[in-house]
Amino acid sequence: MTQSAVDFIIDYLLAKRPDLTSIDLDLDLIENRILDSLGFVNFLYVVEEHTGTEISLDDVTPEDFRTVRSIAKRFFDGADVG
């Protein structure tokens, strides 16, 4: 996991929520309404574009998108985030 992947995820989410100045790696994005159902679909496409990998909706769960850490681990080379 590279820092650039973490930065990519956080920058994307902050752009959608200009009222926030930072997002902790373990903040629950769903519970805190940073990522909602419409945002999830859009974000999924953005992750696909960034990684160059198609992601089937059948292969993902809400838990995959719960935190920046879980997104990075699941979709960006499976490496752990510092």
Q: What is the domain range of residue 37?
A: 3-75
Q: Per-residue pLDDT tens for 32-51?
A: 999 988 888 899 999 999 88
Q: Could you tell me which residues come within 8 angstroms of residue 9 by beta carbon, excluding any fewer than 6 positions away?
A: 68, 71, 72
| pLDDT per residue as tens digits for the range 1-14 | 456 889 999 999 99
**Is 12 part of any domain?**
yes
Angle (nearest 5°) at CA 47 between 45 and 50:
110
- Residue 34 within a domain: yes
In a domain, 46, yes or no: yes
Model confidence, pTM: 0.84
CATH, residue 46: 1.10.1200.10
